[in-house]
Structure 1
Amino acid sequence: MKKKHFLHTALTLLLMGCTAVAQNKDAVKFSQTITKDNAFKHLSVLASDEYEGRETGKKGGWMAADYIKNHFKSIGLKGPVNGDYFQSIDMVTYGLSQILTVDGQPAEPLKDFYNMPQSVSAKGFSFNANDILFVGYGLTKDGYDDYAGQNVAGKVVLLFKAGDPKGENTSGTTSRNASSALNAKVKYLTEQKALAVLAIDPAMDNMPDNLKSYLLSEQMVMKTKENMDRLNNPQGLAVMTIGTTLANKILSAGNTNIDALKKKISETGKPASQEFKISISASANKVEKKVRAENVLGFLEGSDPKLKNEVLVITGHYDHIGITPNAKGDDKINNGADDDGSGTTGVLMVAEAFAKAKKAGKGPKRSILFMAVTGEEKGLLGSEWYSEHPIFPLENTITNLNIDMIGRGDKDHATDNNFVYIIGSDMLSTDLDKIGKKANKDYVNITLDERYNNRTDPNQFYYRSDHYNFAKHGIPVIFYFNGVHEDYHQPSDEISKIDFPMLAKRAKLVYFTAWELANGLKRPRVDKNEDGTPKN
């Protein structure tokens, strides 16, 4: 009996010792600043109305950048961009200056006509003519040809954006289908060397506010070589959309109108193509403005001379979508408490924990770059800029841990919010996947949901946040995410709906994973190709 009891006791103590070893006491000690209270302290500022939704290139975005910079500075992180914390991005906006005059009378933008901003190059366009060629639906099919006997070369061509010569009901035509149909017509007219296209769209007569807002908005562009080459390409065929009022004004030069022409085509089954003697002139030009936009970087140098050149990058995007003037209700500010004020808050807390460890002489062996990126909502712009203009060589970057939305939950976890989605952890590195999961098991014990962890997921989450701009360069990543909820990209994404204990717990998972990565004997080995196949 005694011998058996002794062996049992010894085994218990051994197992307890193994459990203790699994947790690094210093890691646990310095994690104590990652709390729900500290999370609230940061997020109540970043997601306040004063920050106006933190839109890139706007006042609220600049305020957020300054707040993050001051935090990094206050906790002792270094500014790695020639001594500064800001990595400026060469960003501009393009507004559209557009003019259309018919029969000597100016038309009104967004009431009588519009141009799609992305269809106008930096060089813009202009044209003048004394006549306009109407070609009905601009179709050639089933023995019907709107272009029969017509020479469109050098002509301003007027046509219906959508519809059918048989007069069939097209009320169910979607804007996407109509646009696709127009693109095919424009392609043909471009090949035939037409001068310009006027597309008649009855939907313009009652243009929805969201389309007006889009057409009035300035197009934000990073001045990369690829973007500039695209923008500076010669302007293709000028395409302007016009409403029925302006179309009928043009057609009145031939004593007819839209309804009469549609009826004639429908009843006869033949085209009604004809030329109208009426003057027209138009121009559209991009107006460029420099935008202040920056990633905010805080650097913690590693303590091991042999490993400090290797860098772990921890990211979260601090920008959101700003103010929606036509939002329903009184609240117009998209505070972005969860998206991604929560992730930014996580980065700030993790940075503080590591900074305190270093001050106590327990800093990580490898270096860590904490980076709050901008322009994510505009198309992952800030992280793309960093990946093309890295402050530290990408070959020295061992992993990117990216935090985008960790303050809420989704319907699939309504009864238990003790979870986080992880995406990408095994896409490029088996080592990273093991390290991240072991850190969770040893320290945090959150349910790791991997349902979105694949390249073919219809939501495409792997490609939709800043980690992807590291992954596409062969750098292993983990993306931490709490799923989409009903307040996603709405003014209702408010701080009052944040689960602060879970925000802190998820941030701790990032911290402990980072601790293991920054102090491990070896960096995670990249043993998979971008398509997931094993490397040779």
Structure 2
Amino acid sequence: MRLIVPLCSAALLIGCTQQSHETQYQAKFDEQLFRQDFKTLASDEFEGRAPTTHGEKLTIDYLSNAFAQIGFAPAANGSYLQKVPMVSFTPSEDQQVTLAGLPLQYRKDVVLTSRHDVPEVAIENAPLVFVGYGINAPEYDWNDYQGLDMKGKIAVILVNDPGFAAPDSGKFGGKAMTYYGRWSYKYEEASRQGALGAIIIHDTAPASYPWSVVENSWTGPMQELADNGADYRIAVEGWMTKDAAEQVFKASGLDLQAASERAVHGPIQLPLEQTAAIHFNNHAEYADSYNVVATLKGTDAAAEQILLTSHWDHIGKDDSLDGDQIFNGAMDNAAGVSGLLALARQMVAAQKAGQPLKRSITIVVTTGEEQGLLGSRYYAAHPLYPLQDTVAVFNMDTTNVFGRTKDYTIIGKGQSELELYLEKAAGEMQRTATAEAHPESGGYFRSDHFSFAKYGVPAVFAGGGSEPVDQATADYREKMEQLGQGCYHNTCDEYHEEWNLAGTFEDLTVYFNAIRQLGNSQDRPGYYPGSEFYQLRPATGIKLK
């Protein structure tokens, strides 16, 4: 397919647009400013941008100053900062964990934490129960906990959901992960069932990431919202490797593979007839973190909000590491935040050019996404603008540094009418909107837009593609993918000057044009039948010209 939009130039002003009307404002993204934001936020100076650290202070100051310079107004009672009360739980490195009589090594075999303000976790003789995928889903006629008393017991749980292992079975979402496959749901459900603890068995394919991601993300301080009512939550939660799980099952006279296959075909409750002994010290520390929230007021429908979200946080630094100790989080997510700043500049430029939007645009740069969508969860529960007046959420988590593509990826495609605006904007650039290549990773449930979807606000997460525009781009893409291999949640996620940002600016143009069309519309998108969120805000039958 030939792309008829002019190629993005290497000059400072990048005009990457297709316009439906001659008078439509054309976005002109400034590559120099974008790289400056990107490079600064991902620098060693910002120390991996962990919440409640010096890195946070540098980050929120940088963003507040940027929005003031751009011309977005502070949204939180005259401030750009929305306070998010947090508590950090730090389990000791000296974890003594014995499952089925087998001593497991912290980090190598198992990582555990507790989201309770207790100085010590001390568990003895807690029965281990394999509960398959740990799912209670009435709409799928599935309950792994049916009739089971979990009091004082530790649930052992498979990652993902049954659809991953049997994509053609019609169970759950097939290959596409449902929310029931997310680790956050599994701990929440084990808590609702009254369990003492829950340990997920890691497996790289269904988890969509290697054990190193678990180790890096689940050690050191673990944050939670200070007002999340954690008293009901399980006393201990975490992960163990598949190899460790196989040994535990073997010590119980069972076979993990056989038990896992049974779990695919229906709910399962399998007491391992073995117990757990878990001991580690735990330290709780309370501190405030902050979302950065900025608004560009609309005209005729200023009370109606379109939110743009992206998380500023990453996982900080680890002083125990040899060599590089900083998790810079360039792609995750200095990239997305830089994209929001670029969009903000163009929104203001369009307004100054005499083309303001009727609806208001509010940018929410969130904290604590890496710890469980904390900042977006807090905003959704304590919105600065009512959620009933929030028309839509456009989320950015990473950006496309792999070159221009013929397609345009919408994560979780088929959820809501909000996607229609992206499909149209992409089509005007001769790009085809497609679903993600790996829906089994559960991308729709893994970033900040999901916090709003749970309240019924149509929310979308999109960008990039899998089909390069030509062979040269395909070769470049392969080189960049090799460069970034293994860097997700690792210290090598750093900024690279050689990144070609042409694809980034084309993606930003899709968002810009979609947001502008919705911003001047009276439409209120809703969720399609079949979506988990349909009953909260149903689709209204929107048809775009």
Mark yes or no: TM-score above 0.5: yes
Q: Does 1:460 align with 2:442?
A: yes
1:58 Cα deviation after fit: 1.9
CA deviation vs aligned residue, 1:154-202 (integer Å, no higher than 9, x gap): xxxxxxxxxxxxxxxxxxxxxxxxxxxxxxxxxxxx99xxxxxxxxxxx
5 Å matches for 1:132-531? 217-230=220-233, 286-304=282-300, 307-325=301-319, 330-409=323-402, 417=405, 419-424=407-412, 426-429=414-417, 432-442=418-428, 444-452=429-437, 457-482=439-464, 486=485, 487-496=487-496, 498-528=499-529, 530-531=531-532
Alignment equivalent of 2:60, drawn from 41, 65, 69:
65
AA aligned opposite 2:444: Y
Runs (5+) with no aligned partner, structure 2: 1-16, 96-104, 130-193, 196-210, 237-250, 252-277, 466-480, 540-545
Take 2:302 and 2:71, find their aligned partners in 1: how far apart are those partners? 17
2:529 alignment partner, SS class: coil
Matched-pair contact (CA < 8 Å) for 1:35–1:501: no
Runs (5+) with no aligned partner, structure 1: 1-18, 101-109, 140-189, 192-207, 237-261, 263-281
CA deviation vs aligned residue, 1:94-153 (integer Å, no higher than 9, x gap): 2357999xxxxxxxxx99xx99763584345699xxxx99x9x999xxxxxxxxxxxxxx
Q: Which moved more, 1:294-303 or 1:502-511?
A: 502-511
Q: CA RMSD in A?
A: 4.2
2:74 alignment partner, SS class: coil
5 Å matches for 1:50-89? 50-89=45-84
AA aligned opposite 1:423: I
1:405 alignment partner, SS class: coil
Q: Which residue of 2 aligns with 1:12?
A: none
1:63 Cα deviation after fit: 1.0
TM-score, length basis structure 2:
0.60
Matched-pair contact (CA < 8 Å) for 2:89–2:114: no
TM-score, length basis structure 1:
0.60
1:50 alignment partner, SS class: helix
CA deviation vs aligned residue, 1:414-440 (integer Å, no higher than 9, x gap): 8x64554212453032xx222211112
- Please tell me whether Structure 1 or Structure 2 has the larger radius of gyration of its CA atoms: 1
Q: Which has the higher helix share?
A: 1
AA aligned opposite 1:290: Y
AA aligned opposite 1:217: G
C-alpha spacing 1:225/1:397, structure 2 compared with 1 (3 Å)? same
Matched-pair contact (CA < 8 Å) for 1:420–1:449: yes
CA deviation vs aligned residue, 1:338-397 (integer Å, no higher than 9, x gap): 211111111001111112222344211001111111111111111111111111111111
Take 1:298 and 1:120, find their aligned partners in 2: how far apart are those partners? 31
C-alpha spacing 1:345/1:529, structure 2 compared with 1 (3 Å)? same
Matched-pair contact (CA < 8 Å) for 1:39–1:504: no
Matched-pair contact (CA < 8 Å) for 2:393–2:458: yes
C-alpha spacing 1:441/1:91, structure 2 compared with 1 (3 Å)? same
C-alpha spacing 1:447/1:337, structure 2 compared with 1 (3 Å)? farther
AA aligned opposite 1:493: D
C-alpha spacing 1:332/1:482, structure 2 compared with 1 (3 Å)? farther
1:325 Cα deviation after fit: 4.3
1:308 Cα deviation after fit: 1.5
Take 2:53 and 2:226, find their aligned partners in 1: how far apart are those partners? 18
CA deviation vs aligned residue, 1:254-287 (integer Å, no higher than 9, x gap): xxxxxxxx9xxxxxxxxxxxxxxxxxxx997643
AA aligned opposite 2:489: H
Take 2:518 and 2:373, find their aligned partners in 1: how far apart are those partners? 25
Take 2:219 and 2:436, find their aligned partners in 1: how far apart are those partners? 39
Matched-pair contact (CA < 8 Å) for 1:122–1:285: no
1:492 Cα deviation after fit: 2.5
2:302 alignment partner, SS class: coil
Take 1:495 and 1:466, find their aligned partners in 2: how far apart are those partners? 23
AA aligned opposite 1:221: E
Q: Which residue of 2 aligns with 1:38?
A: 33
Take 1:23 and 1:424, find their aligned partners in 2: how far apart are those partners? 30
Take 2:369 and 2:316, find their aligned partners in 1: how far apart are those partners? 13
AA aligned opposite 1:94: F
Take 1:502 and 1:213, find their aligned partners in 2: how far apart are those partners? 30
AA aligned opposite 2:341: L
Matched-pair contact (CA < 8 Å) for 1:296–1:373: yes
Take 1:419 and 1:209, find their aligned partners in 2: how far apart are those partners? 31
CA deviation vs aligned residue, 1:479-529 (integer Å, no higher than 9, x gap): 024488513223322221533222222112111111111012323244435
Matched-pair contact (CA < 8 Å) for 1:380–1:466: yes
C-alpha spacing 1:24/1:520, structure 2 compared with 1 (3 Å)? farther
Take 1:95 and 1:385, find their aligned partners in 2: how far apart are those partners? 21
Take 2:53 and 2:220, find their aligned partners in 1: how far apart are those partners? 13
Matched-pair contact (CA < 8 Å) for 2:427–2:433: no
